[in-house]
Amino acid sequence: MTATPDHYEQSLSRIRTILETARQEGAFPGAVLLWGLASGLPSSLCSGVVRKDVPGEDVTEDTIFDLASLTKPLVTATLALLAAGDGSLSLSSPIEDLMTLPSDHFLAKQPFSRLLSHSSGLLSWAPLYREIPSGNPAIFNKLLEQKILDLPPDYPPGTAARYSDFGYILAGWIIERIYGKKSLARLFRDKVTSPLEILDTDFIEVGEASPLRMKSIASTEMLEGPGVPLTGLVHDEHARYMGGISGHAGLFANALSVWKLVLPWMGKGDFFHPDILADFIRKQPGVSWTCGWDTPTGQSQSGHLFSENALGHLGYTGTSIWMEPGNGRIIILLTNRVHPSRTQNLLKLWRPRIHDVVMESGFD
């Protein structure tokens, strides 16, 4: 049954109300909400401004956001899946076959899949950037790799899933080395955005020119000292000192570009080999994570209406993707909730509510 224009407007009004209420309650300064079926075109709503420390421009569908950890599935897991498809990589490959490790290192015999499913035993996070001189990304990366590998195991690999930036930083370096030390940014452009004809997404390298800098970019956190917000400069400290390119953070995009990047994960087109895609989106043994995506558990940020087979990911700056391969539903929410400060965490309360309203009203 096709929804009538009046019914569509009523549904849109309910979604607009929850989005505007979240903004007014302080969950974020600005947001773009995109939703729809993978088989069709998405609907969208925008709310708020790109920055609020000064009179700012309104957020639009074209606004570029710092995607933060959405880089993990959209870049690193995507490139890993393509590498598996061309025979350059296997999820079962021991990590010691993919990078130089001491033979007795706890990661040595672990399969590469452990890095992608956050079950490698690596520590979740530590401010290692504070222990390394900044200013030269090549030197910083070399020292960071050693510090990550010097970390003791946080838990026995394969016994749990504990979200880890460090696992994806290593995975990103592994992918670069597989392809002759080409940067993730170059690989992403050559193997993903160019063949998919996606324009408004890329890494923004620190100190380098980028076409994205010419576009409207949502600001994130205020820098100490200068008193200006990060705008077009990656929020994550490790990624920033790595030069803006990393396997765990650094990607910028608008909402429609994220939609296009998600479609292959929903089985659209022939970009991914279907058997390898099935391996990547299958929950790994004993954990809630697939190789790239989380699944709903407990008080999930997905809300109450996605099934246990849904796939999703969050980004620290206030970004998220949740999708249901079984019925084609996709919800993308991009915000700059860390502007002007990362201490604002109300989005955790409002995101599930927004998802529930979209699931109830947006797919009639």
Helix boundaries (H) for the chain: 5-24, 71, 78-85, 113-116, 137-150, 165-178, 184-188, 194-196, 237-241, 255-262, 274-280, 347-361
Strand partners, 43: 35
CATH code, 200: 3.40.710.10
Task: Show the domain range for 339.
Answer: 5-361
pLDDT below 50 — which residues of the chain?
1
Supply the pLDDT for residue 125.
Answer: 97
Residue 5: is the preceding peptide bond cis (ω within 30°)?
Answer: no
Measured distance CA(338)–CA(319) in Å, rounded: 10
Rg (CA), the chain: 20
Is 140:133 a contact under the CB 8 Å cutoff?
yes
Supply the pLDDT for residue 199.
Answer: 95
Q: Give phi and psi for 307, each to the nearest 5.
A: -80, 175
Is 15:34 a contact under the CB 8 Å cutoff?
no
Supply the pLDDT for residue 3.
Answer: 62
- The string of DSSP codes covering 83-125 is HHHTTS--TTSBGGGTS---TT-TTTTSBTHHHHTT-SS--S-
Measured distance CA(47)–CA(21) in Å, rounded: 10
Burial 130-155 (b: 16+ CB within 10 A, else e): eebeeeebeebbeebbeebbeeeebe
- Sheet with 43-48, strands from edge to edge, namely 43-48, 30-37, 329-335, 319-324, 311-315
DSSP 156: -
The residue with tokens 């970004």 is: 319
Nearest to 332 by CA among 94, 46, 76, 86: 46
Find the largest Cα–Cα distance for the chain. 66
The one-letter amino acid code at 20 reads E
What tens digit of pLDDT does each residue of 1-24 get? 456 778 889 999 999 999 999 999
Question: Which two three-digit tokens encode residue 151?
Answer: 């970390």
In Å, what is the CA distance from 324 to each residue of 80, 129, 155, 166, 205?
21, 36, 31, 28, 33
Domain count, the chain: 1
Measured distance CA(338)–CA(216) in Å, rounded: 17
- Model-level pTM? 0.97
Question: Which two three-digit tokens encode residue 243?
Answer: 């030069």
What tens digit of pLDDT does each residue of 277-320 get? 999 999 999 999 999 999 999 889 999 999 999 999 999 999 99
Measured distance CA(160)–CA(156) in Å, rounded: 8
Q: Is the dihedral of CA 177, 182, 185, 188 positive or negative?
A: negative
Measured in residues, the chain has a length of 364
